[in-house]
Amino acid sequence: MSGSGTASEGRCLCGTVRYRVSGTLGPVRYCHCRMCQRASGSAFSANASVPVERFALLAGADSIREYEASPGAFRCFCGRCGSPVFARLAFDPAHIRIRLGGLDRPHGVEITAHVWTDSKSSWYEIGEALPQYGQGFG
């Protein structure tokens, strides 16, 4: 494909929404909050915060729907297949929160923390599974 070794491309499940993140993804947090559990249908979500200027929508902008999950916190998903794609926070317009699961070959991911572990699901144990990201959760 295009030669850049430091861009990550991704898409939603149905392929309507396509996007690219330039540069490395950097610190990633696993969020165990109840909202992420409900929105992802899984134990936690994996989110990378990247500067908005390094994010580009390649297709599907018209299909993106937003849900304001809490005041100023918008969860953005594909209106056709429902895949979570990114989130944006009104108080931090300089960054966008990418959901890592949609990226084909994420570059420069560095797992830094599990957060909101007080609400961790009872059926998931935090442990040596941490480095196994990329082999797929659910």
CA distance 9 to 29: 19
- The residues in 78-97 that bind Zn ion, with binding defined as CB under 5 A, are 78, 80-81
Q: Which of 84, 10, 82, 15 is nearest to 46 (CA)?
A: 84
Residue indicated by tokens 């494909």: 1
Q: Taking CB under 5 A as the rule, does residue 37 contact Zn ion? A: no
Q: Is the dihedral of CA 73, 85, 35, 125 positive or negative?
A: negative
Torsions phi, psi of 31, nearest 5? -105, 120
Q: Taking CB under 5 A as the rule, does residue 76 contact Zn ion? A: no
Interface region with Zn ion, contact rule CB under 5 A, candidates 6-14, 49-57, 91-99, 128-136: 6-14
Interface region with Zn ion, contact rule CB under 5 A, candidates 11-19, 64-72, 87-95, 98-106: 11-19
Under 8 Å CB-to-CB from 2, ≥6 apart: which residues?
A: none
Question: Quick one: tokens of 87?
Answer: 């989130």
Number of residues in contact with Zn ion under rule CB under 5 A: 9
Which residue among 33, 64, 69, 111 contacts Zn ion (CB under 5 A)? Answer: 33
- CB nearer Zn ion, residue 8 or residue 83: 83
C-beta of 86: minimal distance to Zn ion in Å? 13
Which residue among 28, 36, 43, 98 contacts Zn ion (CB under 5 A)? Answer: 36
CA distance 79 to 107: 27
- Per CB under 5 A, residues contacting Zn ion are 12, 14, 16, 31, 33, 36, 78, 80-81
